[in-house]
Homo-oligomer: A and B are copies of this chain.
């Protein structure tokens, strides 16, 4: 029986934009597992299977419910040990945490300041009201104000990607010659941006584009086929 995954969606059911859901989606594909996704909106907290933390991804695998992308990756690795590994070895698992922490403190923090308003634009009315109220409280200002000077912040954002850029200039994937979970963590952030925004966060000649293209090609173009902007 296929695994069910609750996946954050915009007003269009097929527009999936959560970076954490993309991590889980790619991890499931890496393991070669069938998945049926259920579009879920911010304001549908009562529609999630128990237990959950009011957020997605949540997966249902037989009688197991697992929430939180990190817990899902650990679960898949333990439950399906004979499928391709997400971490390859214990050192790989440890180092993946560093990539995750870089992604969450540098990459995603930078991206949110570029695409926050574009997320709002892709939501239905109920989610728009929730999202604006919640995020404006968090940022202490309006969505419009958060992204207002995004053009000016772009050079610093791009410079901050140097550790990633240097890595994939010299090897095919963050994890080396083949992708694994750390690639999916980083890719989830880029897929989040391109799912909701036509604001191109990478310069035309950025070597990161080639890596992003390789990620979009994986699993028969799983992420490339999803509704998104640009390349």
A residues bordering B, Cβ < 8 Å?
Answer: 87-99, 101-102, 104-106, 162-164, 166-167, 170-171, 173-178, 180, 182
Contact = CB atoms under 8 A, between A and B. Distances in A.
B87 A91 contact: yes
Contacts of A170: 97
A10 to B, nearest CB: 30
Contacts of A173: 94
- Copies of this chain in its oligomeric complex: 2
B166 A95 contact: no
Given A95-B175, A98-B99, 11 more contacts: A88-B90, A92-B95, A94-B173, A94-B175, A94-B177, A95-B96, A98-B167, A101-B162, A101-B163, A102-B102, A102-B163
Given A88-B89, A89-B88, A89-B89, A163 B94 contact: no
Chain A binding site: helix, strand, loop or mixed by DSSP? helix
A135 B99 CA distance: 32
Contact of A163 (B89, B106, B162, B166): B106
Contacts of A177: 90, 94
A163 B105 CA distance: 7
Contacts of A167: 97-98, 101
B92 A91 contact: yes
A95 B174 contact: yes
A91 B170 CA distance: 14
Given A89-B88, A89-B89, A102-B102, A94 B171 contact: yes
A105 B166 contact: yes
Contacts of A101: 162-164, 166-167
Given A106-B163, A163-B105, A166-B105, A92 B98 contact: no
Q: Top 10 A-B pairs ranked by shortest CB distance?
A: A94-B176, A88-B91, A89-B89, A95-B95, A102-B163, A91-B92, A101-B166, A101-B163, A105-B162, A94-B175
Contacts of A99: 95, 98
23 contacts: A88-B90, A88-B91, A88-B92, A90-B176, A90-B178, A91-B175, A92-B92, A93-B176, A94-B171, A94-B173, A94-B176, A94-B177, A95-B95, A95-B96, A95-B98, A95-B99, A97-B170, A98-B174, A101-B167, A104-B166, A105-B162, A105-B166, A106-B163
